[in-house]
Amino acid sequence: MNVYPLPAADLKGEGMTSQRARDRLVASLKEGGIRDPRVIEVIRNVPRHHFIDQALHSRAYENTALPIGHGQTISQPWVVARMTEALIEFGIPQKVLEIGTGSGYQASVLAALVPQVFTVERIEELLRQARRRFRQLGLTNLRTRHDDGKLGWPDEAPFDGIILTAAGDTIPTRILDQLSPTGVLVAPVGSPSQQMLIRMRGDGHGDFIQEELGAVSFVPLLGGIG
């Protein structure tokens, strides 16, 4: 497993950003059904407070979504863990595309587990902040792009894994076309009032096996750039 360096201050921490607070979060994830030890270890070590405003640091290791501005949120840790677990269950993908960088938290979790992560964000200011965080954490296996997420990243396709961190009524065809024949895609699908986390696995012959992984709540998948 790839493990990126964390600043010494973050490993020590104080109060609600301490390792003890992270351990409590991990305990709650285990109680919620997260089982993959690789995912659990990464969630324990990634400094989630780096990805939110300082005013919210006291809530960084609560198992809840938090606002990051521009109408977006940093996902609930359980959801990040579940999506990551679902993506790597059948093997570590070598090349993963994330649609919706947001705060950069999900991308950082992925970058600790897979060799290459490509992440696309439509809101320029969010991407600028995420890039700064990636540099601070010393992530070198992660590439970013400011673009319409619905377009994916065709120049780098195919991808062994794709994660969407926003929900649409369906998976955009352009994104699905960028999944390798045996790749895995994990995404929320549905309306704002009713969404389901799904996993699609390519069978190697042009068809997909689709599974429902449980009800979730995500911000909507929007087109264009801002």
Active site residues: 75
∠ CA 97-98-102, rounded to 5°: 155
Q: Count of CB atoms within 10 A of residue 74's CB?
A: 22
Place of tokens 């992984």: 213
Q: Count of CB atoms within 10 A of residue 165's CB?
A: 29
Q: Residue 212, SS3?
A: strand
Q: From 124, 188, 118, select the one nearest 153 (Cα to Cα).
A: 118
Please state, in angstroms and rounded to a whole number, the distance separating the CA atoms of residues 85 and 88.
5
| Encoded tokens for 88 | 């790597």
